[in-house]
Structure 1
Amino acid sequence: MTALDASKKTLSAGHAANMSGVAAVERALAIAEALVNARRPLNLTELAESTDLYKSTILRLLVSLESCGLVVRRSDQRFTLGPFAIRLGKAYDACTPLEALLQPLMEQLVREGMESPSFHVPNDANTRLCLLRVDSLHSTLDRVRVGDRLPLRAGAPGKVLMGAAPDPHVRDISPLLQVSFGERDPNCAAIAGPVYGPGQVLLGALSFSGPLDRFNAASVKVMGPPLLAACRQATAQLGGQWPED
C-alpha cells in the first residue's frame, strides 16, 4: 500500500465517522421536528410513527435531547418541546427581528383591507416555512398557518424564494412580484414579493393569499403596489437595500 493509498483510507474512515455523526444529529432533529409539527405532546409510539425511527433509537437520542432541555418527558410518559426551544426562538428573534418588525406591518395591511399576509422563508430544498401569518378581515380565508411547510416549487412565495423569472401578470407593476392562481391549492391564489436583509440577502417572501375567486387581473393590480411598498419598507427596516432604488 502506497502512502497515498494509506492517506485515502484514513480520510475515508474519518469521513465515515463524520457522516455517522451527521446522521445522529439529523435523527435527533427529526424528533424535535415531529414535536413541532404535532403541536402537542407525543408518546414513544407516536414519535416512532412520525420519524420512521426505531423506538430504541429514539430513546437513546431522547437522553441527549432531554439533557440539553430541547425535549421534556412528562409524567404521563409523553414528550414535548422543552425550555431550550424557547431560548432558540428568542435568540433567533434577537438576531433577526422579523416578527417584531413584520407583524405590525402585516396587521396594518389587514386593516387596510388587504388579503391575508404571510411571511415565508426557505425550509429545505423542497419546502418553505410559513413563519408569520395574519388573517384578513374577509369572511372566507385560505388555510395557511404559522409553522406550515409548503411546496417550494408551487405558489407565489415559492417563486420569490427560488428567484423565478419575472411574472407577466405583474411585470407592469414590478418584476420583483410573483403571482400564483391555484398552483398549490386549486381553490387559492397569492401574490408575493421579496424582503431583503443586509448584503442583499433574501430573507423571505411576503405574500397576500386567499380564495381564488377574489384574485384576478384587476385585484392583483390593486394589491401589488401596497404589497411592494410593504416589502420595500420591511427591507429598509431590516437593514437591506431595495433593488429598485
Structure 2
Amino acid sequence: MSPTSAPGDDGVAAVDRALAIVDVITRRSDPITLADLSRATGYYKSTLLRLIASLEKASLVVRRSDGRYALGRYAHDLGRAYEAAYRLTEILLPILQDLVNRGSESGSFHVYHDAQSRVCLLRVDSHHSTLDRIRVGDLLPLSRGAAGKLIQTYHGKGLAPSKDHVIAISMGERDANCAAVASPIFGLDNEFCGAISLSGPKERFTPEAVSKMSEMVQTAAAKATETLGGIWPNKAS
C-alpha cells in the first residue's frame, strides 16, 4: 500500500509513519516546512498534520512561529539519555572486566527499573567454574540483594553520596545459594546512576573474601564516579 493512500493512521503503520517524520526532521540541519516534509516522506499534508499533532503532544516535534517544524524537547531528552547510556557502558565495562581479571566474582551494573525491580545493564562473568546466573536485561527484586539495597537507598531520594552507604552486602537474600557485595555510582551533580556488584556462590563469600571484594568494589565505584563527574564521599567537603 502506498504511504500516501493509507486509509487510516492507527496501529503499527501510524507508528512507522510518525517515526519517518521524526527521521526526516532529525536529518535536517534547519527546521523544515510542511511542503518539504510531504516531498521527503511521500505523505499527504493531511496525513502529516494528523501525525504531527501526536508528535507535538509527545514533545518529539515542535511547530515554530514561522510554521516550520523542528525536533522538540523530548527528542533532545532521548538524545541525552542515549549518550549517557553509552557513556556508562564505555566507562563501566572496562572497570567490571578489570575486577574480574583480578580474580573477583562476576561483576554487574544494576539500575532502577520500577517500584519492584532493578535491571542488570552490564555483566562480566568471573573466571570461576561455578557462577550465579545473571544476564544483561534480567529483572531482579529491588528489595533483595546488595545492589537493590543501594538503589532503594539512593534512587529518587536526592541524597548526596554518604560514607555510611557506599557498601552493601547480601548473603542468600535473592537466591539462597548466592551472595554479593555492591557499591553505588554517581555522576554530575552527584546524581545516583546505579550500583556495581560482585556476586557469586555464597560458599565463596568467606569473611576474608567479603572484606577484599568490598574494598575492590568501592575502589571501582569511586573511579567510575570520578570519571562520570561525581564526587566520591571520602573526597567530599
The question of a shared fold, defined as TM-score above 0.5 by the shorter chain, is answered with yes
Looking at structure 2, the residues matched to 90 and 199 of structure 1 have their Cα atoms a distance apart, in angstroms, of 19
Picking from 91, 97, 100, the partner of 1:101 is 91
Q: In the TM superposition, what is the alpha-carbon distance from 1:62 to its structure 2 partner?
A: 2.9
Give the structure-2-normalised TM-score. Answer: 0.63
Gaps of 5+ in 1: 1-59, 70-87, 165-172
Q: In the TM superposition, what is the alpha-carbon distance from 1:91 to its structure 2 partner?
A: 6.0
- Residue 195 of structure 1 contacts residue 205 of structure 1 at CA under 8 Å; is this kept in 2? yes
- Residue 177 of structure 1 contacts residue 192 of structure 1 at CA under 8 Å; is this kept in 2? yes
Superposition RMSD in Å: 2.4
The range that moved more, 132-141 or 92-101, is 92-101
Q: In the TM superposition, what is the alpha-carbon distance from 1:114 to its structure 2 partner?
A: 0.6
Runs of 4+ displaced beyond 4 Å? 88-91
Letter in 1 for 2:94: P
Could you tell me which residue of structure 2 aligns to residue 176 of structure 1? 166
Give the structure-1-normalised TM-score. Answer: 0.61
Gaps of 5+ in 2: 1-9, 21-76, 155-162
Structure 1 residue 63 and structure 2 residue 13: aligned? yes
Structure 1 residue 217 and structure 2 residue 207: aligned? yes
CA offsets 1:7-33 (integer angstroms, 9 cap, x no match): xxxxxxxxxxxxxxxxxxxxxxxxxxx
Could you tell me which residue of structure 1 aligns to residue 5 of structure 2? none
Structure 1 residue 119 and structure 2 residue 98: aligned? no
Identity of aligned residues (%): 43
Structure 1 residue 227 and structure 2 residue 217: aligned? yes
Picking from 193, 218, 225, the partner of 1:203 is 193
- Residue 185 of structure 2 contacts residue 192 of structure 2 at CA under 8 Å; is this kept in 1? yes
- Residue 93 of structure 1 contacts residue 99 of structure 1 at CA under 8 Å; is this kept in 2? no
Number of equivalenced pairs: 161
Looking at structure 2, the residues matched to 66 and 149 of structure 1 have their Cα atoms a distance apart, in angstroms, of 29
Looking at structure 1, the residues matched to 151 and 120 of structure 2 have their Cα atoms a distance apart, in angstroms, of 12
Q: After TM superposition, list the pairs within 5 Å mapping 1:1-245 onto structure 2.
A: 60-67=10-17, 68=19, 92-96=81-85, 97-163=87-153, 175-245=165-235
Letter in 1 for 2:83: A
Q: In the TM superposition, what is the alpha-carbon distance from 1:142 to its structure 2 partner?
A: 0.5
- Residue 181 of structure 2 contacts residue 199 of structure 2 at CA under 8 Å; is this kept in 1? yes
Looking at structure 2, the residues matched to 216 and 174 of structure 1 have their Cα atoms a distance apart, in angstroms, of 22
Could you tell me which residue of structure 2 aligns to residue 14 of structure 1? none
